Amino acid sequence: MIRKKVIPAVSTIVSLVCAALFFLKLNPETLVRQEEAPVTMSDIEEGGTKDFTGSAAGADIPRLTGAADFSEILYDLDYVTAEPVGIVPAGVYSLKPWVSRFGTRTYRGRTTAGRRRTEVSTSRLDFQGNYNPYYLLELPDHTFILAQIPQSAADAVAAGKSITLPVGKKTGMTDAARKQLAAVCEEYGADMDGVFYAFDNEWEKEHHFTLFLIRYGAAALLWFVLSVLLTLAGNRIFRVDADGQEEG
């Protein structure tokens, strides 16, 4: 009888841990975002005030070949892309530009401001998807720059694939982020004068909840299936029958 209670409990806990890790790692953006035509310099010149950050990069978008190229572009003005040869997670995360610094809570139909979100985090446990990670991008000349790029692109570079990053701009960082990034930038010789930012903030904000639901649903399904399979496997290994009795 004891084993009948312990096996499901352990199976549930193990499955929950696996589902949580899966939830944090899953990136369903490629399933939701439709393939778009690459942006060219002509599109940018004719686009006026339209923001092209995060768009697919056309063949004539300037490529960063090294940190020196990045140091010469203008903040929040020049559009560039890159074809990195390596990537290093910095272990630092900044609050997404469109996310409120205050969480909200609803009680009996009334919504009030909740706990203040930290501007910069070093925790990987971002279950709500409110933070963008910093990376160190290794450019073709093997110098490094700071960057914030979509997870799908980061995963592809980490897997050794040759890709062209989305269109990005040079943006600044907060003092809090600078303090947290100082050590890793010094280790890789990366200049802290600017960050290559390649997120489409408008698209991210619009699809944030949809992506969360997909991740939650997939993780919940994984948790349920693993719980059942591990419980059945445990009962078989320890020879527990349906009535909770140990088989002889």
Task: Give CB contacts under 8 A, 24+ apart, made by 32-35.
Answer: 32/207, 32/210, 32/211, 32/214, 33/203, 33/207
How large is the average pLDDT for residues 212-224?
90
Partners of residue 106 on adjacent β-strands = 111
Q: Tell me if residue 168 falls in helix, strand or coil.
A: strand
What is the rounded CA–CA span in Å between residue 170 and residue 189? 18
| pTM (predicted TM-score) | 0.82
Place of tokens 């399904």: 221
Domain boundaries, the chain: 62-207
DSSP string, 60-100: TSPEE-SHHHHHHSPBTT--BEE--SEEEEEEEEEE-TTS-
Largest CA distance in the chain: 80
Q: How far is CA 122 from the centre of its chain?
A: 13
Percent of the chain clearing pLDDT 90 (strictly above) = 58
Question: Strands 131-138 and 169-171: what pairing?
Answer: unpaired
**Which pLDDT tens digit goes with each residue over 38-61?**
999 999 999 888 999 999 999 999
Question: Over the stretch 91-131, which tens digit does the pLDDT of each residue have?
Answer: 999 999 989 877 665 555 555 556 778 999 998 888 888 99
